[in-house]
């Protein structure tokens, strides 16, 4: 990973919270701006699930593949240069076809599942090891080694997250989210130290309800984050998301989706908030919440976009701390 951007404070240390595609993009941008020893990415595990006997960790893989530069640039998830032969045959053999598994991606699931099942290694240990093999030299941590599967309460009943997200294409209207086992989940080793050591915590532009909330809900994590300078980047731009159901969820929960709503979602945690230029009209409302604000282009279409946004996030944090 080349550090192409120049940051004014070389010792500045960032811990980022990330979910899927949007979070992975900003994480990759941050990785391009910071030395590996100065960046830790804590990743959502609420959407992890078992499929065909394999342990699948969609957000963790999306983040790792993005950081390793092996993500599929078209989809944002899965591997570049992917083939689908195993998946085709799985479907031919009556296996569930609603969750697509690429051939290269499958290797990750097979290796991880086998190592987890042997019972001697935790998800965080395995993730650390896989990252090493992918050439990812910063620290990537699953938020917890304890599963906390997101339960989506919908008009059609309670759905497992991937059922809701992939199988049902986010169509059922949501009412509530719960994370099974959350009361007893422990932060993965390294999570609390990474938050404590951070000069700034960045909440990536991921879904607040189902990507960031599961991380924040793990006992101990919010309390540590609250001690820190925390900047969130809004995943909502002009009332919509680039990808994913966050805006739809806000509406179904009776909240007008907006950058302001995101800032309010994280109320009590944040010191600064970054949102898109398209939402300039909301700036005063956000400032009135007592937050420092920064307005910029937050749409990350290219590698340059994500590095530029990451650099702005870091400089905003450095500037905020200095003032």
Residue 297 CB, nearest approach to a second copy (Å): 35
Q: Output 107 or 301, the one with its CB closest to a second copy.
A: 107
CA of residue 35 relative to chain centroid, distance: 20
- Could you tell me if 151 and 180 are in contact, meaning their C-beta atoms sit under 8 angstroms apart? yes
Residues 127-166 that bind a second copy (CB under 8 A): 129-130, 133
- Who's near 225: CB < 8 A, 6+ residues apart? 195, 201, 216, 269
- Who's near 272: CB < 8 A, 6+ residues apart? 229, 230, 231, 232, 291, 292, 293, 294, 316, 317, 320
Q: Output 126 or 152, the one with its CB closest to a second copy.
A: 126
Residue 37 CB, nearest approach to a second copy (Å): 24
Residue 109 CB, nearest approach to a second copy (Å): 9
Distance CA 111, CA 109 (A): 6
Residue 115 CB, nearest approach to a second copy (Å): 9
Binding-residue total with a second copy (CB under 8 A)? 28
* Tokens, residue 316: 């905003």
Residue 50 CB, nearest approach to a second copy (Å): 9
Residues 229-248 that bind a second copy (CB under 8 A): none
Q: How many residues does the chain have?
A: 323
Q: Which helix (H) or strand (E) segment is 63 a member of? A: helix 58-68
Q: Output 115 or 295, the one with its CB closest to a second copy.
A: 115
- Who's near 31: CB < 8 A, 6+ residues apart? 1, 39, 67, 138
CA distances from 261 to 132, 160, 195, 226, 247 (A): 38, 25, 25, 19, 10
Q: Output 107 or 267, the one with its CB closest to a second copy.
A: 107
Residue 65 CB, nearest approach to a second copy (Å): 11
Between 85 and 114, how does the x/- string for binding to a second copy read (CB under 8 A)? xxxxxx-xxxx-------xx-xxx-xx-xx
Closest CA to 195 of 227, 218, 219, 217: 227
Q: Output 108 or 307, the one with its CB closest to a second copy.
A: 108
Distance CA 242, CA 134 (A): 28
Residue 113 CB, nearest approach to a second copy (Å): 6
Contact call for residue 290 and a second copy (CB under 8 A): no
Q: Output 113 or 258, the one with its CB closest to a second copy.
A: 113
Residues 31-60 that bind a second copy (CB under 8 A): 52-54
Q: Output 63 or 274, the one with its CB closest to a second copy.
A: 63
Footprint of a second copy on this chain (CB under 8 A)? 52-54, 82-83, 85-90, 92-95, 103-104, 106-108, 110-111, 113-114, 117, 129-130, 133
């Amino acid at each position: 990973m080349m550090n192409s951007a120049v940051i004014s404070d070389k010792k500045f240390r960032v811990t980022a919270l990330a979910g899927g595609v949007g979070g992975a993009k900003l994480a990759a941008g941050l990785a391009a701006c910071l030395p590996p020893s100065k960046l830790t990415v804590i990743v959502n595990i609420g959407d992890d699930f078992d499929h065909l006997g394999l342990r699948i960790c969609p957000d963790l893989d999306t983040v790792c593949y993005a950081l390793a530069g092996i993500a599929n640039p078209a989809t944002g998830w899965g591997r570049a240069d992917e083939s689908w032969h195993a998946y085709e045959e799985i479907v031919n053999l009556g296996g569930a076809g609603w969750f697509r598994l690429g051939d290269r991606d499958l290797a990750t699931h097979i290796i991880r599942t086998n190592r987890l099942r042997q019972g001697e290694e935790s998800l965080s240990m395995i993730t650390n090891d896989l990252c090493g093999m992918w050439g990812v030299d910063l620290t990537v941590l699953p938020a917890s080694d304890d599963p906390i599967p997101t339960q989506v309460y919908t008009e059609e009943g309670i759905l497992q997250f991937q059922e809701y997200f992939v199988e049902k294409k986010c169509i059922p209207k949501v009412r509530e989210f719960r994370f099974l086992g959350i009361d007893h989940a422990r932060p993965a080793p390294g999570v609390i130290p990474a938050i404590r050591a951070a000069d700034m915590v960045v909440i990536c532009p991921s879904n607040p309800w189902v990507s960031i909330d599961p991380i924040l809900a793990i006992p101990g994590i919010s309390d540590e984050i609250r001690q820190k300078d925390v900047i969130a980047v809004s995943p909502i731009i002009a009332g919509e998301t680039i990808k994913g159901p966050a805006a739809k969820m806000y509406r179904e929960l009776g909240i007008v989706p907006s950058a302001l709503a995101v800032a309010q979602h994280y109320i009590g945690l944040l010191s600064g908030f970054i949102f898109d230029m398209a939402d300039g009209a909301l700036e005063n409302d956000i400032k009135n919440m007592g937050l420092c604000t920064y307005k910029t282009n937050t749409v990350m279409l290219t590698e340059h976009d994500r590095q530029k946004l990451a650099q702005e996030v870091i400089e905003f944090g450095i500037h905020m701390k200095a003032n």
